[in-house]
Amino acid sequence: MTDFFKQFASDEKMEIEGRWVEHDTETSFLVARSGNKHFNRLFSKLYQKNKVVLESKGDAAEAKSDEIMVETFAKTILLGWKGNVVFDGKDLPYTVENAKKLLALKDFRRVIGSYADDFDSFKAVQEAEQGN
Protein backbone atom coordinates (compact mmCIF):
# COMPACT_ATOMS: atom_id res chain seq x y z
CA MET A 1 0.00 0.00 0.00
CA THR A 2 1.32 3.43 -0.90
CA ASP A 3 1.53 5.97 1.90
CA PHE A 4 1.13 9.19 -0.05
CA PHE A 5 2.19 11.30 2.92
CA LYS A 6 5.54 9.51 3.11
CA GLN A 7 5.89 9.65 -0.66
CA PHE A 8 4.92 13.27 -1.34
CA ALA A 9 4.72 15.44 1.81
CA SER A 10 7.46 18.02 2.03
CA ASP A 11 8.95 19.85 4.97
CA GLU A 12 7.68 23.38 4.32
CA LYS A 13 10.01 24.96 6.88
CA MET A 14 13.04 23.35 5.23
CA GLU A 15 11.79 24.42 1.79
CA ILE A 16 12.13 28.05 2.90
CA GLU A 17 14.98 27.95 5.43
CA GLY A 18 17.05 25.55 3.33
CA ARG A 19 19.13 22.45 3.92
CA TRP A 20 22.90 22.06 3.88
CA VAL A 21 24.22 20.39 0.77
CA GLU A 22 27.81 19.17 0.67
CA HIS A 23 29.09 20.36 -2.69
CA ASP A 24 32.60 18.98 -2.33
CA THR A 25 34.94 18.11 0.53
CA GLU A 26 35.56 21.81 1.28
CA THR A 27 32.28 23.54 0.56
CA SER A 28 28.63 23.25 1.61
CA PHE A 29 25.73 25.39 0.50
CA LEU A 30 22.51 26.24 2.34
CA VAL A 31 19.88 25.71 -0.34
CA ALA A 32 16.13 26.28 -0.16
CA ARG A 33 13.70 24.43 -2.40
CA SER A 34 12.99 25.94 -5.79
CA GLY A 35 9.45 27.17 -6.12
CA ASN A 36 9.09 27.92 -2.40
CA LYS A 37 6.66 30.69 -1.53
CA HIS A 38 9.40 33.33 -1.11
CA PHE A 39 10.86 32.40 -4.50
CA ASN A 40 7.44 32.59 -6.16
CA ARG A 41 6.59 35.98 -4.62
CA LEU A 42 9.88 37.62 -5.52
CA PHE A 43 9.98 36.13 -9.02
CA SER A 44 6.41 37.28 -9.69
CA LYS A 45 7.17 40.78 -8.39
CA LEU A 46 10.30 41.11 -10.52
CA TYR A 47 8.54 39.67 -13.58
CA GLN A 48 5.66 42.15 -13.30
CA LYS A 49 8.07 45.04 -12.75
CA ASN A 50 10.00 44.10 -15.92
CA LYS A 51 7.19 42.64 -18.01
CA VAL A 52 7.62 45.01 -20.97
CA VAL A 53 11.33 44.21 -21.34
CA LEU A 54 10.82 40.48 -20.80
CA GLU A 55 8.10 40.26 -23.43
CA SER A 56 10.16 42.18 -25.99
CA LYS A 57 12.09 38.99 -26.86
CA GLY A 58 15.69 39.50 -27.98
CA ASP A 59 18.93 40.24 -26.14
CA ALA A 60 17.51 42.73 -23.65
CA ALA A 61 14.83 40.28 -22.59
CA GLU A 62 17.40 37.50 -22.24
CA ALA A 63 19.70 39.67 -20.11
CA LYS A 64 16.82 40.82 -17.89
CA SER A 65 15.63 37.23 -17.47
CA ASP A 66 19.10 36.17 -16.30
CA GLU A 67 19.27 39.17 -13.96
CA ILE A 68 15.91 38.25 -12.42
CA MET A 69 16.92 34.63 -11.92
CA VAL A 70 20.22 35.63 -10.30
CA GLU A 71 18.47 38.01 -7.90
CA THR A 72 15.69 35.55 -7.09
CA PHE A 73 18.11 32.68 -6.47
CA ALA A 74 20.41 34.89 -4.37
CA LYS A 75 17.59 36.06 -2.12
CA THR A 76 15.48 32.90 -1.87
CA ILE A 77 17.46 29.77 -2.87
CA LEU A 78 21.19 30.11 -2.10
CA LEU A 79 20.96 31.18 1.54
CA GLY A 80 24.49 30.64 2.72
CA TRP A 81 27.69 28.70 2.43
CA LYS A 82 30.48 27.44 4.58
CA GLY A 83 33.92 26.32 3.69
CA ASN A 84 36.42 27.69 1.25
CA VAL A 85 34.62 29.63 -1.48
CA VAL A 86 37.02 31.37 -3.84
CA PHE A 87 35.97 33.54 -6.77
CA ASP A 88 38.55 34.73 -9.27
CA GLY A 89 41.36 34.02 -6.79
CA LYS A 90 39.76 35.79 -3.81
CA ASP A 91 38.02 34.37 -0.74
CA LEU A 92 34.31 35.09 -0.92
CA PRO A 93 32.35 35.22 2.33
CA TYR A 94 28.59 34.72 2.08
CA THR A 95 26.49 37.80 1.41
CA VAL A 96 23.55 38.19 -0.94
CA GLU A 97 25.74 40.32 -3.22
CA ASN A 98 28.45 37.65 -3.27
CA ALA A 99 25.81 35.01 -3.96
CA LYS A 100 24.78 37.08 -7.00
CA LYS A 101 28.39 36.99 -8.25
CA LEU A 102 28.44 33.20 -8.12
CA LEU A 103 24.92 32.80 -9.48
CA ALA A 104 25.74 34.99 -12.46
CA LEU A 105 27.77 31.98 -13.60
CA LYS A 106 25.01 30.08 -15.41
CA ASP A 107 26.52 26.64 -14.82
CA PHE A 108 26.89 27.30 -11.09
CA ARG A 109 23.27 28.49 -11.07
CA ARG A 110 22.29 25.19 -12.71
CA VAL A 111 24.12 23.21 -9.99
CA ILE A 112 22.37 25.16 -7.23
CA GLY A 113 19.11 24.73 -9.12
CA SER A 114 19.60 20.96 -9.21
CA TYR A 115 20.12 20.94 -5.43
CA ALA A 116 17.01 23.09 -5.01
CA ASP A 117 14.98 20.77 -7.28
CA ASP A 118 15.89 17.57 -5.41
CA PHE A 119 12.42 16.73 -4.10
CA ASP A 120 13.60 13.78 -2.00
CA SER A 121 15.84 16.06 0.06
CA PHE A 122 12.89 18.19 1.13
CA LYS A 123 10.51 15.36 2.04
CA ALA A 124 8.81 15.54 5.40
CA VAL A 125 9.70 11.88 5.95
CA GLN A 126 13.23 11.04 4.84
CA GLU A 127 14.08 7.57 3.51
CA ALA A 128 16.40 6.80 6.45
CA GLU A 129 13.48 7.40 8.81
CA GLN A 130 11.17 5.16 6.76
CA GLY A 131 13.62 2.27 6.96
CA ASN A 132 11.00 -0.30 5.95
Other C-beta atoms lying within 10 Å of the C-beta of residue 113: 18
Question: What's the chain's average pLDDT?
Answer: 90
pTM (2 d.p.): 0.85
Cα angle at 116 between 26 and 58, to 5 degrees? Answer: 110
8 Å CB contact between 116 and 34: yes
- For residues 124 and 3, give the distance between their C-alpha atoms in angstroms, rounded to a whole number: 13
pLDDT digits (tens, 9 = 90+) for 23-81: 999 999 999 999 899 999 999 999 999 999 999 988 999 999 999 999 999 999 999 99
Sign of CA dihedral 100, 101, 103, 105: positive
